[in-house]
Structure 1
């Protein structure tokens, strides 16, 4: 399900009459140095990020470590109009490092719920309803009533949370209404827990979490036909997150089929 595309902030174009206004991303800073314009980007997150530019302007991808700031452009005085620079290069900050290196394919993820709990699988890999894109093809949905504990599948750090929504339904208009928690792992992969209830996160941004730790409560927000937990594991790419397979409770994730149950014993 396309709830999160790995882009932290997208440049917004708003039309006022016939004039387009351009908004500078909050992570972009400008500085004049003699006859040059220095453009830098500051990473506000506890995970690596990288900057991409408009296709055809620059091919390079600039990686920025957590909480650091890097120069991304040095331009001569012919381009001192900052809004023109934003319009031409359109710098975007995305989660992870680029190019992405190999990840730990042997890691054994926990089931994302508490010990002693058993839940039915609503949708597995390549599900026709919504697990049919590069972003969601290896996701799994567990049928959970609203308010069930959700647990971290792996150690990591929380890099994004949305929990302000109380809306959901079968229409795709609810895509952006899903509450979620996004966690970064040491092999540069990410995991995401989606459809949480309103105010359903019990961790905060930049928290370090442990495998099996309770992080929130299930819900029915976003593009959803019934209360459930949707989760997936991702690798970062220049076009955003791409879903990857994983081992879940010592079982390859592809074996979690619709209609079967998973028991966390």
Structure 2
């Protein structure tokens, strides 16, 4: 599996600002040619964004499964290997580079056990962390450590971070959030975050059912108290962006801070 680049409340693997080589890009020379190869490990749809810094042109390559292929080729007299990452940037993203439609009327389950009730800790468009295109439609439920978290929709697990035991209120803790990302058959993704250490019980590649137990809540990452953070994403050329949805037959925007939700 690919190297973890730190988990924010969105997940994007990308090249760093220092012209360093991403783990999913390899360079090979053969005779008089230099080949730039992508090693795509993502098991859902994915796309690679290639930016030519010299011409300011951008190219998008879409994939439907893991693959290895040549994305750029140069004659060895035209460019030095060390200049490739000065002249080009590469960003590998979850999802298709563009989806025209998705199932906006799908009725998602509440992300916890039947008979349980939890308070909304931070609503969508919340002022603490739920703003901007990535997190605008995220929602938090107040949960003590070790509460059961269930899948709101069926799908395939495409990302798991499960090894953190650190949390706090500052931005420096964002990459410390234990989290899982699940791909749905309409091209969208759901993310669940702040699980306890080793609290996620599903693994990458698992096919899960709606309502299935996927892990146990915690307080890892940027978090002021134990809770479950979850969000629904659609992919765009700028990466995953949060979207509103229907949760237990109620529009997600109606879940206000302080409201109690009961899974009947």
TM-score above 0.5: yes
Moved more, 52-61 or 238-247: 52-61
Whole-angstrom CA distance in 2 between matches of 1:70 and 1:53: 14
Residue 51 of structure 1 contacts residue 93 of structure 1 at CA under 8 Å; is this kept in 2? yes
> How do 1:23-172 and structure 2 match up within 5 A?
23-54=20-51, 56-172=55-171
CA separation in 1, counterparts of 2:65 and 2:78? 29
SS of the residue corresponding to residue 197 of structure 2 reads coil
Q: Which runs of 5+ in 2 are unaligned?
A: 1-6
TM-score (norm 2): 0.90
User: 2 CA distance for matches of 1:101 and 1:141?
Assistant: 28
Matched with 1:192 is: 191
Secondary structure of 2:87's counterpart equals helix
Q: Distance in 1 between matches of 2:228 and 2:245?
A: 17
The one of 11, 15, 26 equivalent to 1:10 is 15
Q: Work out the CA distance in 1 between the residues paired with 2:38 and 2:24.
A: 5
The answer on whether the counterparts of 2:38 and 2:69 sit within 8 Å (CA) in structure 1 is yes
* 1-structure distance, mates of 2:8, 2:105: 27
Deviations 1:36-76 (A, max 9, x none): 32222122121121111235443220112211223211222
Unaligned runs of 5+ in 1: 14-21
Tell whether the 8 Å contact from 2:14 to 2:90 is kept in structure 1 after alignment: no
Count the aligned residue pairs: 256
Contact 2:181/2:192, CA 8 A, preserved across alignment: yes
Higher strand residue share: 2
Which runs of 4 or more aligned residues in structure 1 lie more than 4 Å from their structure 2 counterparts after TM superposition?
A: none
TM-score (norm 1): 0.90
Distance in 1, matches of 2:77 and 2:215, equals 51
Cα distance in 2 for partners of 1:98, 1:33 equals 31
Does structure 1 retain, via aligned residues, the 8 Å contact 2:9–2:174? no
